[in-house]
Amino acid sequence: MNPPQQQPPNTPPSPRLLVSVRNAPEAQIAADNGAALIDIKDPARGPLGRPAPYTINAVLAAVSQTHPVSCALGELHELAAQPLAPINNQLAFIKLGLANAPTDWRQQLAAICDHTGPARMIAAAYADHRRVAAPPAHKILAWAATHHAAGILIDTAVKDGQTLFDYFDESALHTLIADAHHHGLTIALAGSLSQDLAARAAALGPDIIAVRGAACASGDRQAPIAPDRVRSLVTRLAAPHASAHRRVG
């Protein structure tokens, strides 16, 4: 019997896998096949499309006893026309984007943060921020640190085949991750990550890798969650992490 492999010293743990789901059946599939966190969103309504309240309740009923559940609440500017309903206390995290951000986005986001509780707030920073008039990631990270938010998500706003790595190289992402950890923030990486790119992103040492399309049949974010693709992601995030981190770090 071979002895267990020793993880190199100072190697951070493998990031947790977050899978975004549209409904309770997808949530159950993701949970049963190794996802560590379940995220609820409506991908037909944008990168952080807000789901219907009944969808939120159904997903929470299905998996919240075993898995932390987060929920996308859309873009900050949308709240003027679509005010937030009371936030379900079972949600571990809520996410807000800043596309077409108002000039006073810091103050508005702080008010939402006070309403939801800083420990649940994940502010989304778009890698392609110039395409959607959003603040750059470093400004959102600074806001999150100042307001003691739970963390930040780095994502892409426009889902047209461009990925996280079309806007950030490993060095820039490594700096963002280090800055987030310096301030005690959780940092999640997303952005149209394929299974291969998810493993590449995991090598940088974020806390969470967040996916939708990579966990779906044929890699199509509008298709259903596929059990084998979730299992494959779990394996990819864990197995190469230590050796890949040594190459990047």
Q: Which long-range contacts (CB under 8 A, 24 or more apart) does 55-60 make?
A: 55/22, 55/23, 55/24, 56/88, 56/91, 57/88, 58/23, 58/24, 59/21, 59/23, 59/24, 59/27, 60/88, 60/90, 60/91
159 is catalytic: no
Residue 175, CB-side half-sphere exposure with 13 Å CA sphere: 6
For residue 235, what are the CA distances in angstroms to 17, 53, 59, 64, 231? Answer: 10, 33, 25, 23, 6
Candidate list 16, 41, 120, 241, residue with the active-site label:
41
How would you classify residue 193: left for phi > 0, otherwise alpha for psi between -120 and 50, otherwise beta? beta
22, 95, 129, 245: which one is catalytic?
95
What's the longest Cα–Cα distance across the chain?
A: 63
Scanning the structure block, which residue is given the tokens 């071979």? Answer: 2
Report the SS3 class of residue 153: strand
Catalytic residues: 41, 95
